[in-house]
């Protein structure tokens, strides 16, 4: 398999612009990748330190399976190794990572539970393979770290333990999701961001009550 790098790079830049406009990739936060080739593994990767509202297709880098840049002297995103890990574990064709307000809030609020249970919403049907709103989606939460090799190991362990998940949260950090294609990965981020915001806003309306506890009784 070999995909067209310029085409993927344009798609990634367009997604970054759209996500930035929605407040999910503010400043230089978040990152994007897409598989150019499987054997040997080559990914189109967003660069480090570039404003995601201004990201251009010609700024994307080509990286190898060690997350090292092949074509450029610029630096790929710090979290490139996590993208490589997800591609290897899931056979994903694209990986997208957002830092939204709601995914950050819920990644902390549910950290003690180890993840967020999402069930009963029609929007769940936007996740690949989900046929009914009665589906229960588990979104694991992994403790954040600046040590990327060790975080990549945690990601691999989590994905092996939870084979059916469509994404995961890094605590107080952000959301990772993926898909067979860039379009599917984008759809999964949109669905998960919608669901997290819906749950977060619901909790807010209810006065911050989680798991049926009473706000007033504290």
Residues 202 and 22: their CA atoms lie apart, in Å, by 20
CB of 48 to Zn ion, least distance (A): 11
Which is nearer to Zn ion, 3 or 103 (by Cβ)?
Answer: 103
- Buried b / exposed e over 187-216, threshold 16 CB at 10 Å, is bbbbbbbebbbebbeeeeeeeebeeeeeee
Peptide bond into 40 cis (omega under 30): yes
Residue placing its CB nearer to Zn ion in the complex, 86 or 124: 86
Contact 141, 66 (CB under 8 A): no
In angstroms, what is the minimal distance from the CB of 202 to Zn ion?
A: 25
| Site map (CB under 5 A) of Zn ion, residues 124-163, x = contact | ----------------------------------------
CB of 116 to Zn ion, least distance (A): 18
**Residue number with CB closer to Zn ion (13 or 142):** 142
3-state secondary structure at position 177: strand
Decide if 58 contacts 88 (C-beta within 8 A).
Answer: no
- In the bound state with Zn ion, the residue whose beta carbon lies nearer, of 3 and 19, is 19
Which of 32, 31, 30, 34 has its CA nearest to residue 8?
34
**Which CB, 3 or 46, lies closer to Zn ion?**
46
Residue nearest to Zn ion (CB): 174
Strand partners, 94: 34, 179
Residue 135: other Cβ atoms inside 10 A: 16
Whole-number minimum distance, CB 108 to Zn ion, in Å?
15
Q: How far is 39 from 157, CA to CA, in rounded Å?
A: 23
CB of 99 to Zn ion, least distance (A): 6
What is the sign of the dihedral through the CA atoms of 198, 202, 208 and 210? negative
Select 135 or 171, whichever has its Cβ closest to Zn ion.
171
Footprint (CB under 5 A) of Zn ion, residues 163-182: 174
Q: Least distance in Å: CB of 148 to Zn ion?
A: 11
Residues that bind Zn ion (CB under 5 A): 174
């Amino acid at each position: 398999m070999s995909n067209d790098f310029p085409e993927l790079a344009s798609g990634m830049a367009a997604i970054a612009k759209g996500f930035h406009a929605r407040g999910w990739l503010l400043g230089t936060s978040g990152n994007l990748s897409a598989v150019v080739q499987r054997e040997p593994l080559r990914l189109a990767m967003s660069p480090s330190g570039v404003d995601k509202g201004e990201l251009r297709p010609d700024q994307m880098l080509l990286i190898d399976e060690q997350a090292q840049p092949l074509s450029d002297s610029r630096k790929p995103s710090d979290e490139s190794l996590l993208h490589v890990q997800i591609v290897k574990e899931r056979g994903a064709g694209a990986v997208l990572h957002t830092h939204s307000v709601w995914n950050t809030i819920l990644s902390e609020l549910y950290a003690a539970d180890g993840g967020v249970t999402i069930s009963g919403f029609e929007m769940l049907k936007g996740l690949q393979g989900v046929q009914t709103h009665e589906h229960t989606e588990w979104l694991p939460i992994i403790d954040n770290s600046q040590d990327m090799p060790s975080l990549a190991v945690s990601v691999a362990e989590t994905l092996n333990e939870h084979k059916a998940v469509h994404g995961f949260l890094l605590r107080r950090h952000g959301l990772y999701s993926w898909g067979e294609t860039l379009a599917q990965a984008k759809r999964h981020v949109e669905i998960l961001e919608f669901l997290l915001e819906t749950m977060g806003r619901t909790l807010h309306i209810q006065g911050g009550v989680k798991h049926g506890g009473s706000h007033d009784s504290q």
